[in-house]
Amino acid sequence: MIHCLYVKRIRIAAIPLLIGLAASCMYAQNDWPTYGHDPGNTRYSPLKQIDAKNVSKLKLAWTYHMAPPAVAAVPVPAPSADRSEAPDPSAAPAPGRAARPAAKRSSEASPIVVNGVMYLPTPYNHVIAVQPETGKEIWSYEIPGNANASARGVEYWPGDAQSPPSIFFGTTNGRLMALNAITGKLVPGFGTDGWVDMKAGIDNGFPTGNFSLSSPPKVYKNLVITGARVQESPSFGFSGDTRAWDAHTGKLVWQFHSVPHPGETGSDTWKGDDWQNRSGTNVWGFISLDPALGLVYLPYGSPTYDFYGADREGANLFGNSVVALDAATGKYKWHFQLTHHDIWDYDLESAPVLFDVTRNKTKIPALSITSKTGLVFILDRKTGKPLYDVEERAVPASDMPGEHAWPTQPFPVKPAPLSRLKFSVDEIAKVTPEQEKFCRELLASDGGMAYGGPYNPYGEKTTINFPGTWGATNWHGGSFDPNLGYLYFNTLDLADVGKLAKSPAGAKTVFNRNGYQRFWNPENFWPCQQPPWGEMVAINVNTGEYAWRVPFGVVPELDAKGVHNTGTLNMGGSATTATGLVFIGATNDRHFRAFDGKTGKILWDIQLETGAYASPIIYQGKDGKEYVVVIAAGGAYMDRQAGDSVLAFALP
């Protein structure tokens, strides 16, 4: 209960504010106050109104359309021939903006709900506040400079006697902004009239480089902790350092070097001056906190350049690592590296999920962390030590000039991988004769592709790699049910194909990958290996075993041909409830579903106007109703249908 941490810090003279904050301490049961619901990012709601017996009765309660009229007037793209028509949720009452055609910008955002107000960023340069029971707009702030907010959400700080309750978010032009949560106006005392230039002090002498936030910051006490979105290449540019800012003033409080400087922990994993001015190694995903331990957990991506590391020999900490810091000071506590010397773009991006593991009747504070590899590591969150054995296994060597691929990579003995890590020719997709023909021709192209795995290094021969850069899972990661002890993931089985080629003379990187190709048929977005192409899975964290795994999503064209249980490509996360439900959109069949968390059985299934490539939230309104809300904006991740809707579902 984050608000409650602040009540005792307020001077007695501020009685009205004290009373308001004390009342707000009750929000934890009813609200969704931060991305992931709680500091540990479990995406678990303790609400019990919607359960397995009545979930099938859920109806659309309200719709908010994010697109402004000028954008929304753009004609809706026609559905592709291989997609069935879907009902339009905007037909339901929409007390917010008037219903309008779908717009063209996608969204991965999850709203937050605090003290009876919903806050979210739109992909149309605004941050908004709406009534969570009706979708009626309370205020709307337009971000200057044609910039957008952090794509996946905003963060709330309750304020105190010195500063008002605030909404924090980063922008695509490198600012950290603070809005008054009540009025939607900039907070004058924060930085320069409500914003801080996050680019200052980390450009490494490359001031024209890219820097922004793609995910919301995390608040700890009076600190706003931020990650970074930086370039994929070339090697040198803006630092991916993690920083903390004073929530009152915007002043920098601490900065953690994600690429260690000489003499710092991890500096011996870099050769010579290879660390210097290095970009990448950034938290572009989600930050987690354990307020009781005072620790912040940071999932770092790979160092630049992603696919060729001749200029960064070594294991390259803190690339591809989860790092625990003292949240108040930024002091290093421990780390665990999931991929050594990454040359596959296997970022950590999803939030570490915090929970307890029961072993010999003793509860161990733990966390799970995964990356695009789909390997799930369950660690003691006090020490970073694995709770299930981890083995360093030999992986293929690179034949690229100058490349020193790491000879081994860590594999957890438990849990088993979320999805496939390798491929052989007998696994080619045979769902239709046409798909098999296409995929065999693709496999034979460019002189025949290399395959195998896991951890095939890219070389001068086109290579298939499972998972691809979209990962077995991506930024959305997992959710957790503490009653069952189950960790839920939606998985994606899609490979990349690629090779390295000599860069033009004068280029800053000697070799570059030839774009981002997928091992699929781009006409229908069907992968070129046999299904399932997407699954929902549940892992019992107390045993490390899978409780269940089922195909996730439907391909109607294949279903009609008698090819069932294929699953689909998906992107977006799940949310759980105290009644054992798991809600999730994510699939490119444009459905929104509720699973029985214990068995994997689908209990509710509705088709939306477009795909919901975001994570849902669950809260109770002032009217006593429990709501399930998801953003369905489509237009991305294997879906040609666009949308702009915030959709709220409730019991009649």
Question: What's residue 93's pLDDT?
Answer: 36
Question: What's residue 184's pLDDT?
Answer: 98
Q: How confident is the model at residue 90 (pLDDT cuts 50, 70, 90)?
A: very low
For residue 206, report the phi and psi dihedrals to the nearest 5 degrees: -125, 70
pLDDT at 121 over 90: yes
130-140 pLDDT per residue, tens: 999 999 999 99
Distances (CA, A) of 488 to 122, 575, 604: 27, 9, 17
Whole-number average pLDDT of the chain = 91
Percent of the chain past pLDDT 90, that is, above it, reads 85
- Pairing assessment for the beta strands 252-256 and 242-246 based on DSSP bridges: antiparallel
Q: What is the DSSP string of 372-433?
A: TT---EEEETTT--BSS-EEEEE-PPP-STT----SEEEEESSSPPSS-----GGGB--SSH
Q: How confident is the model at residue 638 (pLDDT cuts 50, 70, 90)?
A: confident
Average pLDDT estimate for 448-475: 96
At CA 524, angle to CA 565 and CA 530, rounded to 5?
40
583-637 pLDDT per residue, tens: 999 999 999 999 999 999 999 999 999 999 999 999 999 999 999 999 999 986 6
Average pLDDT estimate for 357-368: 96
pLDDT at 550 over 60: yes
141-158 pLDDT per residue, tens: 999 998 999 989 999 999
Question: What's residue 72's pLDDT?
Answer: 52
Distant-in-sequence, close-in-space partners of 502: CB < 8 Å, separation ≥ 6:
510, 511
Q: Which of 318-327, 443-452, 511-520 has the lowest mean pLDDT?
A: 511-520
For residues 242 and 283, is the Cβ–Cβ distance under 8 A?
Answer: yes
pLDDT at 97 over 50: no
- In the beta sheet, which residues pair with residue 334? 324
Average pLDDT estimate for 353-382: 97
Question: What's residue 208's pLDDT?
Answer: 85
Fold of domain 1-30+111-151+153-197? Thrombin, subunit H (2.40.10)
H-helix or E-strand spanning residue 295: strand 295-299
Q: How confident is the model at residue 504 (pLDDT cuts 50, 70, 90)?
A: confident
Bond preceding residue 467 cis, omega within 30 of 0: yes
pLDDT at 100 over 60: no
Question: What's residue 29's pLDDT?
Answer: 74
Average pLDDT estimate for 320-331: 98
pLDDT at 8 over 80: no
Q: How confident is the model at residue 28 (pLDDT cuts 50, 70, 90)?
A: low
Query: Which tops the pLDDT comparison, 508 or 432?
Result: 432
Question: What's residue 92's pLDDT?
Answer: 37
What's this model's pTM, rounded to 2 decimal places? 0.92
Question: What's residue 88's pLDDT?
Answer: 33
Average pLDDT estimate for 245-256: 98
Question: What's residue 431's pLDDT?
Answer: 98
Question: What's residue 573's pLDDT?
Answer: 98
Average pLDDT estimate for 48-58: 98
Average pLDDT estimate for 33-38: 98
H-helix or E-strand spanning residue 492: strand 486-492
The amino acid present at 107, given as its one-letter code, is S
**Burial of 514 per CB tally in 10 Å (0-12, 13-18, 19+):** middle
- In the beta sheet, which residues pair with residue 64? 646
Query: Which residue, 445, 458, 451, 448, is CA-closest to 426?
Result: 451
Q: Domain segments of the chain: what residues?
A: 1-30+111-151+153-197
**Residue that has been written with the tokens 């979320």 in this structure:** 418
pLDDT at 24 over 50: no
Average pLDDT estimate for 410-416: 98
